[in-house]
A = this chain, B = another copy of it.
Amino acid sequence: MLTKGGCPKNMLSIRDALEALEGRWKMLILFSLSTGPKRFGQIAKEVTGISDRMLSKELKNLEANKLVKREIYSTFPPTVEYTITAHGRSLENVMDALHYWGLAHRKKIMGK
């Protein structure tokens, strides 16, 4: 592991990352936005299982953490779109690592 002695400074960085990404939804929302800007309803459809209330809460949190940008277009009626920021895109390595580990874990636990 990266530890080489479990230095508390590393612990802090991992704590920070886990706090910003806490829960099972944020990464999935970012994953959905990684293919392009989307409206609320589109995200809700792609992230199966999430309630509107939870999606709204998570989007606000992601915005506060500068991972997602909310843009209002002055069409009639106004439309709102969510875009992943460059900082959000910088999670690519984390997502890649989670993806490959998730595949291995499924094989290990469920034997498929």
* A72 is an interface residue with CB less than 8 A from chain B: no
Q: Are B18 and A105 in contact (CB under 8 A)?
A: no
From A12, A17, A95, A108, name the one whose CB has the most chain B CB atoms within 10 angstroms: A17
Please give the count of copies of this chain that the complex contains: 2
* A52 is an interface residue with CB less than 8 A from chain B: no
Interface size of A in residues (CB-CB distance below 8 Å): 49
- Binding site secondary structure of chain A: helix
Q: List 28 interface pairs A-B (beta carbons < 8 Å), by A numbering.
A: A1-B31, A1-B34, A1-B89, A1-B95, A2-B96, A2-B99, A3-B31, A3-B34, A6-B34, A12-B102, A12-B106, A14-B27, A14-B95, A15-B24, A15-B28, A15-B102, A16-B102, A17-B98, A17-B99, A17-B102, A18-B24, A20-B102, A20-B105, A65-B109, A87-B108, A93-B100, A94-B97, A94-B101
Contacts A87-B104, A93-B97 aside, 5 further interface pairs with beta carbons under 8 A come to A6-B46, A17-B98, A20-B109, A66-B109, A91-B101
